[in-house]
Structure 1
Amino acid sequence: MMINMFDKTKSGRIDVVGFSALWRFLQQWKSLFQQYDRDRSGSISSVELQQALSQMGYNLSPQFTQLLVSRYCARSATPAMQLDCFIKVCTQLQVLTEAFREKDTAVQGNIRLSFEDFVTMTASRML
């Protein structure tokens, strides 16, 4: 999925420029994660995740952020997200955001899709 973010030719490969762009994204996400991992535990809570995603420009509800944590984190008494899961979430949000923006030509923050268009849009980017 990360390679697909920078594979402009849809060949399943990226060139040096694409790899450099991917590396920059990874470094930015790692830096952001470390900024919100204030106790240096190697993980962030759903509140810290929401703050990090907000800094990235995502205005997501606490319920959605909690869903992300429960979906991507190991079940425990105090669920928290580790860096690898954070990068996976950021990658998926980036891919879905790009797909959404392609359809939101009026830049209104809303699009109208049929179910098949939605499945095609997400499957072509997520697989």
Structure 2
Amino acid sequence: MSYIPSLPSREFLWDVFQRVDTDRSGEITANELQRALSNGTWEPFNMETVQLMIGMFDTEKKGSISFEKFGALWKYVTEWQQCFRSFDRDNSGSIDQNELKSALISFGYRLSDPMINTLMRKFDRMGRGNIFFDDFIRCCVVLHTLTTAYRIVDGVIKNINYEHFLGMVLSLKV
């Protein structure tokens, strides 16, 4: 999907939806969506990111999304793209460690440099010291999801039964 400054018309989205729905099922799967998305590097979107996004919008847990959910997902990706571009200060098409740190600070995270290093290693698929658009989305969603899960237990992990913790983590879509 390329950047569109405002929400496109329903007709435009329907046209895109029909092109993406290659099996004509009326639903879009993660595989179909991956083929339709670009992270700006001529590489397909990271499948883990695509599955994460499908899971966020697939409230019926079918493994696919309808046209209406596709419209919401389009808006979501467009908003992330605007966010990504605002932190990609050198317009390289990727976020380096300093840009990631700035982004996370603006989101309210005050993480140590070693934790920023950990996030870079985790989400830098190419091992080049930068994170592409799709992995930036995944990094931010995973960080938000884990932070939310941690807050549910009032930030006291040591008092959680191991199986309870495993159940909590395994139930997350990360």
The two structures have a TM-score, normalised by structure 1, of: 0.73
C-alpha distance 11-99 of structure 1, shift in aligned 2 (>3 A)? farther
User: What is the letter of the counterpart of residue 119 of structure 1?
Assistant: L
Over the residues paired in the alignment, what is the CA RMSD in angstroms? 2.6
Distance of 1:43 and 1:27 partners within structure 2: 16
Give the alignment of 1:31-110 within 5 angstroms: 31-73=82-124, 74-76=126-128, 79-101=129-151, 103-104=152-153, 108=154, 110=155
Q: Where does residue 111 of structure 1 map in the other structure?
A: 156
Q: 1:9, 1:111 → 2: CA distance?
A: 32
Q: Deviations over 1:69-127 (max 9, x none)?
A: 12221223xx11111111111221233233334x24xxx5x133222222211211136
Q: 1:8 to 1:98 in 2, by over 3 A?
A: farther
Instruction: Please name the residue that 2:76 is paired with.
Output: 25
> Residues 122, 11 of structure 1: CA spacing in aligned structure 2 closer, same or farther, 3 A cutoff?
farther
Which structure has the bigger radius of gyration?
A: 2
CA contact (8 A) 2:87 2:99 kept: yes
Q: Which amino acid aligns with 1:126?
A: K
Normalising by structure 2, we get a TM-score of: 0.56
Identity of aligned residues (%): 36
Aligned residue pair count: 120
* Residue aligned with 2:110, SS: coil
Runs of at least 5 residues in structure 2 that lack an aligned partner in the other structure: 1-51
Tell me: higher relative CO, structure 1 or 2? Use CA pairs within 8 A at least 6 residues apart: 1
- 1:50 Cα offset (Å): 1.1
Note the C-alpha offset of 1:21. 4.5
